[in-house]
Chain A
């Protein structure tokens, strides 16, 4: 029963009861992703959601597609096996700051550098939610949690900087409370050919509530965030009256007329990296949007091209050829 009719958001809701805490940012993301899936023209049976462990990783159970809820940190490796085995599938990976950057940091680095055609959504709530409130690798220094009663002394990592450093071909950032923006970034990621990495700031109402309010609250958002839109000037502020440009190696706030045009597909990831470090200066806005979007060879295409090439060159191997190869003798 192949699907021929246009799909709607509802078609992607599974029959499972969603079990996140009331008010959790995950609901908004789930809703947004279900909406986007309906627009992609990919039938449900060709879609596979893969996750690790954590609150975010319950995601596949709620998608009426194929899904694989795996083990902590290993979703990139599982997804690599799935996508390499069947490149026809649309593979989406859902992870969190602990799953994707702490226990699974190694796998995350390697999936990004290999550039499989997989979409990665990293829900960053700067806390461990499912284990009930310990600090994560993205928690700020000084954060008091159950495992850091005197405040964390760990310096946090920045997911976007990390992804850029791994050579990711698409890197974006969005926020659960800004649905329109989230849709734009996720759509761009969906249409990218290659590994797309999207960090989604996601509020944990229970253990780290309001941690993004400093720049994400509607009252300050326009002044405290800047949307990186490829080909568009770097503008922010309610009236879009402020701009950004990079002078030398340093970002600088300038009048709107002097703002630089954002380029996400340059040879160097340098400007994107400068943007990803903007939060080091509290006077600067927090960048959201599309940091990087470039093309590179796709891992699974290379794997299958080699197999086709070998078959073309040597013919498809038979059991007779396999076993009776090399020097043989008869008794």
Chain B
């Protein structure tokens, strides 16, 4: 089959500013691949975009069941896109379970594309449906396009050497081809990707290409749509070179960059855990950048090995999620006590305990700031979007080496697996901050716990002649670092460590207010809520509401100047994917302000509409 130059060109072409599509199917249907390919192609045609993969923790829950449904939402547009969108305009449902789980989210009047080839009685039974939602009125509010994709792909792949099971596994590429046609996207990028992906199984590459082209060329289906759409490239994006990036990858690249800027070897100690494993996998591929990765036997060994490497003079990093953070607590305390740089990346997920491994949450904030035995202060910073994870990682390295302290980087599942276009920094804008190891004793003698202007102690690599010394978790005497049980010294050292961490705020900027600097409500966010908050503020302001927002990268210590900013608003609204942890911190730090918590703990990010509704309800009071 050859690809028609421009199939369906006789049909009308409509321009749309932005579209939200959700691909939904069984976890074995390849919806994540489909979504990622659509995303990547949309990025390459110049759209701004945001994605939201939503998949079950089970690798393959029983096929066709509701728990096995895997979804991927992408919003792409020619205007600024901050979030993956509240409601899909188009839902692609590969089976009854995918349809019934997702239909409630579809925008009224939206389009649902259903694979009717998977709607036999048995399929309905697996989805716990007594009647077919295709006929019982469930879909009456939507535009329904019924396609037997199972049969279509069988027909398209007739004559290939594939088994019927393998043929059916090409369904997702048939669907992708159809969506590429509908939104006028080129096939080239995915064709190339298939060749690379299946380099060792060329027959599979060919079959998937055939399936995709068949979907792209299916003229009789095209007529069902009565036209196709075009979403022009985004023209409000700042000039520059872009690439599509996922949060975990951006974080990994930021760590490699931070290490290079600090002139250190990066050592990652990590134990696989969802949704943080991508960082380990990503860094393991950077061996030619000198990166050492160590997959440890457990979370504790991971942080301890990273700390050991820091003692030896590396940039020690460990990556994990909530349950792993809990296990790393004692290791973090040791890092605080021996005052070595260390980066701890917590990619938060729903909890407590194992909780919702593949869903997002921001409920490790208090654990990050306070969750260690005794007085063990650690600076905490948070990434606000997939591409922001890059800069956040570099900032973490900067603080860690400048203050000789562990630093916690908070991200979450939504950032980790979400994607967006990233405007690449100019290399010359990345300013080096090389570490200076102490190489010989100062004239007045070597003191392992002497302090510099940042209250940081010297960093000495073992192997340096003449500076042999011992460190450990027992309390140390000021300057000499000898074991000390002296009561006054202990209080002195506790305060010293506290003052050092609080001094980080002298090196961080006061964040800018988005919107007017005075008004009724200031929405204060941290972490991955940034996109939804920005969209909500834009919407509210367009309606004349006096609403602004402020987003924190440095969540501990808090930057200077917040008090003054808060004073210019009647209230500060803090939306968080937890029970109000940042609100609690702010109330204890800034008691004179009206701080309102807006918690959401569903394992799902905030919708823009939820924030808009909340603010309007507050304004009406």
Report A's interface with B, CB cutoff 8 A: 1-3, 14, 16, 43-46, 48, 50, 53, 60-61, 63-71, 74, 76-86, 88-89, 106-107, 109-110, 303, 306-307, 309-311, 313-317, 319-320, 322-324, 326-331
Q: Chain B, interface size: which category? A: 35 or more
- Chain A CB within 8 A of B527 CB: no
Known contacts A82-B312, A316-B289, A327-B44; A106 and B294 CB within 8 A of each other: no
Task: Assess the A331–B288 pair: CB atoms within 8 A.
Answer: no
Min CB distance B150 to A, Å, is 32
- Chain A CB within 8 A of B612 CB: no
Interface centre among A61, A85, A110, A322, by most B CB within 10 Å?
A85
Task: Assess the A80–B290 pair: CB atoms within 8 A.
Answer: no
Task: Assess the B465–A45 pair: CB atoms within 8 A.
Answer: yes
Chain A positions within 8 Å of B464 at CB level? 45
Task: Assess the A89–B462 pair: CB atoms within 8 A.
Answer: yes
Interface centre among B267, B305, B425, by most A CB within 10 Å?
B305
Contact of B300 among A74, A88, A309, A324 (CB under 8 A): A74
- A-B CB contact pairs (8 Å), 30 listed: A16-B470, A45-B465, A50-B308, A67-B468, A67-B472, A68-B338, A74-B300, A77-B297, A77-B305, A81-B305, A81-B312, A81-B314, A84-B305, A85-B267, A106-B301, A107-B300, A307-B292, A310-B288, A311-B288, A311-B290, A317-B288, A319-B430, A322-B257, A323-B427, A324-B241, A327-B243, A329-B242, A330-B241, A331-B46, A331-B240
Task: Assess the A85–B312 pair: CB atoms within 8 A.
Answer: yes
Task: Assess the A89–B260 pair: CB atoms within 8 A.
Answer: no
Task: Assess the A77–B301 pair: CB atoms within 8 A.
Answer: yes
Chain B positions within 8 Å of A80 at CB level? 294, 296, 301, 305, 308
Task: Assess the B298–A66 pair: CB atoms within 8 A.
Answer: no
Known contacts A67-B470, A322-B256; A81 and B308 CB within 8 A of each other: yes
Task: Give the docked Cα–Cα distance between A109 and B242 (Å).
Answer: 47
Known contacts A322-B253, A322-B257, A329-B242; A84 and B286 CB within 8 A of each other: no
Task: Give the docked Cα–Cα distance between A77 and B305 (Å).
Answer: 5
Q: A45-B464, A81-B308, A84-B267 are in contact. List 15 more A-B contacts (CB 8 A).
A: A45-B462, A45-B467, A50-B308, A78-B304, A81-B269, A84-B309, A85-B309, A310-B288, A311-B288, A322-B289, A324-B243, A327-B40, A328-B241, A331-B237, A331-B240
Task: Assess the B466–A61 pair: CB atoms within 8 A.
Answer: no
Task: Assess the B463–A74 pair: CB atoms within 8 A.
Answer: no
Task: Assess the A317–B289 pair: CB atoms within 8 A.
Answer: yes
Chain A positions within 8 Å of B306 at CB level? 81
**Secondary structure type dominating chain B contacts:** mixed
Chain B positions within 8 Å of A76 at CB level? 301
Task: Give the docked Cα–Cα distance between A313 and B257 (Å).
Answer: 21
- Chain A CB within 8 A of B91 CB: no
Min CB distance B310 to A, Å, is 8
Chain B positions within 8 Å of A327 at CB level? 40, 43-44, 189, 243-244
4 A-B pairs with the lowest CB-CB distances in the bound complex, closest first = A81-B308, A69-B472, A77-B304, A81-B305
Task: Assess the B294–A81 pair: CB atoms within 8 A.
Answer: yes
- Chain A CB within 8 A of B544 CB: no
- Chain A CB within 8 A of B483 CB: yes
Task: Give the docked Cα–Cα distance between A14 and B469 (Å).
Answer: 9
Task: Assess the A14–B470 pair: CB atoms within 8 A.
Answer: yes
Within 8 A of A (CB), among B276-324: 286-292, 294, 296-298, 300-302, 304-314, 316
Task: Assess the A74–B304 pair: CB atoms within 8 A.
Answer: yes
Chain B positions within 8 Å of A314 at CB level? 288
Contact of A82 among B257, B311, B482 (CB under 8 A): B311
Task: Assess the B331–A313 pair: CB atoms within 8 A.
Answer: no
Task: Give the docked Cα–Cα distance between A66 and B472 (Å).
Answer: 11
Contact of B308 among A53, A60, A64, A79 (CB under 8 A): A79
Task: Assess the A86–B463 pair: CB atoms within 8 A.
Answer: yes
Task: Give the docked Cα–Cα distance between A118 and B8 (Å).
Answer: 69
Min CB distance B305 to A, Å, is 4
Known contacts A74-B301, A316-B288, A316-B290; A89 and B312 CB within 8 A of each other: yes
Closest Cβ neighbor of A103 among chain B residues: B300
- Chain A CB within 8 A of B451 CB: no
Task: Give the docked Cα–Cα distance between A53 and B309 (Å).
Answer: 20
- Chain A CB within 8 A of B12 CB: no
Within 8 A of A (CB), among B445-489: 461-474, 482-483
Task: Assess the B311–A68 pair: CB atoms within 8 A.
Answer: yes
Min CB distance A120 to B, Å, is 15
Contact of B307 among A81, A309, A316 (CB under 8 A): A81
Task: Give the docked Cα–Cα distance between A71 and B44 (Å).
Answer: 50
Task: Assess the B292–A85 pair: CB atoms within 8 A.
Answer: yes
Known contacts A67-B471, A303-B292, A327-B243; A2 and B309 CB within 8 A of each other: no
Contact of A330 among B43, B240, B304, B316 (CB under 8 A): B240
Chain B positions within 8 Å of A303 at CB level? 292, 294
Closest Cβ neighbor of A110 among chain B residues: B297
Closest Cβ neighbor of B253 among chain A residues: A322
Task: Give the docked Cα–Cα distance between A314 and B296 (Å).
Answer: 27
- Chain A CB within 8 A of B508 CB: no
Min CB distance B251 to A, Å, is 13
Closest Cβ neighbor of A314 among chain B residues: B288
- Chain A CB within 8 A of B239 CB: yes
Chain A positions within 8 Å of B288 at CB level? 307, 310-311, 313-317
- Chain A CB within 8 A of B424 CB: yes
Task: Give the docked Cα–Cα distance between A326 and B461 (Å).
Answer: 36
Task: Assess the A69–B309 pair: CB atoms within 8 A.
Answer: no
Chain A positions within 8 Å of B333 at CB level? 71
Task: Assess the A66–B462 pair: CB atoms within 8 A.
Answer: yes
Task: Assess the B257–A319 pair: CB atoms within 8 A.
Answer: yes
Min CB distance A17 to B, Å, is 10
- Chain A CB within 8 A of B579 CB: no
Min CB distance B233 to A, Å, is 8
Known contacts A69-B471, A70-B304, A307-B292; A323 and B312 CB within 8 A of each other: no
Chain B positions within 8 Å of A50 at CB level? 308
Task: Assess the B241–A48 pair: CB atoms within 8 A.
Answer: no
Min CB distance B255 to A, Å, is 11
Closest Cβ neighbor of B284 among chain A residues: A306
Within 8 A of A (CB), among B240-271: 240-244, 253, 256-257, 260, 265, 267, 269
Min CB distance A19 to B, Å, is 9
Contact of A85 among B291, B314, B466 (CB under 8 A): B314
Closest Cβ neighbor of B424 among chain A residues: A323
Contact of B313 among A83, A86, A106, A309 (CB under 8 A): A86
Interface centre among A76, A80, A330, by most B CB within 10 Å?
A80
- Chain A CB within 8 A of B561 CB: no
Interface centre among B288, B294, B307, B466, by most A CB within 10 Å?
B288
Closest Cβ neighbor of A78 among chain B residues: B308
Closest Cβ neighbor of B240 among chain A residues: A331
Chain A positions within 8 Å of B233 at CB level? 331
Task: Assess the B483–A61 pair: CB atoms within 8 A.
Answer: yes
Task: Give the docked Cα–Cα distance between A43 and B467 (Å).
Answer: 12
Chain A positions within 8 Å of B474 at CB level? 69
Contact of A86 among B40, B298, B461 (CB under 8 A): B461
